[in-house]
Amino acid sequence: MPGDATRVTTRTLSEMKRGGRRIVALTAYDALFGRLVDEGGVDIILVGDSVNTVLCGQSTTLSATLEQMIYHTRIVRAGVERALLVIDLPFLTYQVSVEDAKRNAGRALQVTGAEAVKLEGGAPIVPTVHALVEIGIPVMGHLGFTPQSVHALGGARVQGREAGAAERLVRDAHALADAGVFALVLELVPAPLAERVTAEVPIPTIGIGSGPGCDGQVLVLHDMLGLNERFKPKFLKRYANLADEVRAAVRAFADDVREGHYPDAEHSFRA
């Protein structure tokens, strides 16, 4: 709840699933939004490699770097007191070898103060997940549409519509849970399939474009606030239209400056 000073941990999320309490997650990329989102009462703040598309103007997340993720997570940490803070490990920081994954995940937590890392993928990364969990690094999984595989998947498409693909996703979910992930993001998965996975695995599922049957939901903050107007997927609900407000405020400021109304006496210092 907003104002609750109790820190959210991976154990908290497990208790929430068992108790039937919905989990709320959002992204953040800086200290100011980190503080506002935290004070809003979310349970998980994800510093996603989506920063590469949302703030850096890139077409995919693939060029995000570990240093970039560390920088943004460190500054988000400065604003967060309650929510569980999770950092995305970017492309090629955990796929090459288990030793690379250990080194990069460990450094990410050590330097940023985040409490967990998020990895994308199913069966191929299960040994990596197991190795990270074994040395005390909490891991969040991610199945369905995995943005780091956007080219292999042929774009941002719903995954698991065919029977074989659905069964593979279910197997991957069980394998990741068995390997020790504490939660699982399900992105662009048909709602009935996401509901099935949620019922079958003992860990919380966090949906994005995967229907109401997950244990929780996540959105990208700038999408949800209506700042990222060009992104209009079916699953997105905008809770504000801040792009319009920003433009209006900038225009009002520009008008005041050009007409000599700002700064006035109220906003000036006297000798």
Which of the following is catalytic: 99, 187, 195, 245? Answer: 187
Alpha helix segments (H runs only) across 4-161: 10-19, 31-39, 51-54, 66-77, 98-112, 126-134, 150-153
The whole-angstrom separation of Cα 42 and Cα 1 is 8
Helix (H) or strand (E) holding 164: helix 163-179
Unique residue bearing structure tokens 């700038």:
222
Alpha helix segments (H runs only) across 44-114: 51-54, 66-77, 98-112
Chain CA centroid to CA 7, Å: 18
Bridge partners, 17 (sequence order):
none
Instruction: Answer whether the bond into residue 263 is a cis peptide, omega within 30°.
Output: yes
For residue 187, indicate whether it is catalytic: yes
The whole-angstrom separation of Cα 195 and Cα 216 is 11
The whole-angstrom separation of Cα 143 and Cα 197 is 11
Chain CA centroid to CA 201, Å: 21
- Catalytic residue IDs: 187
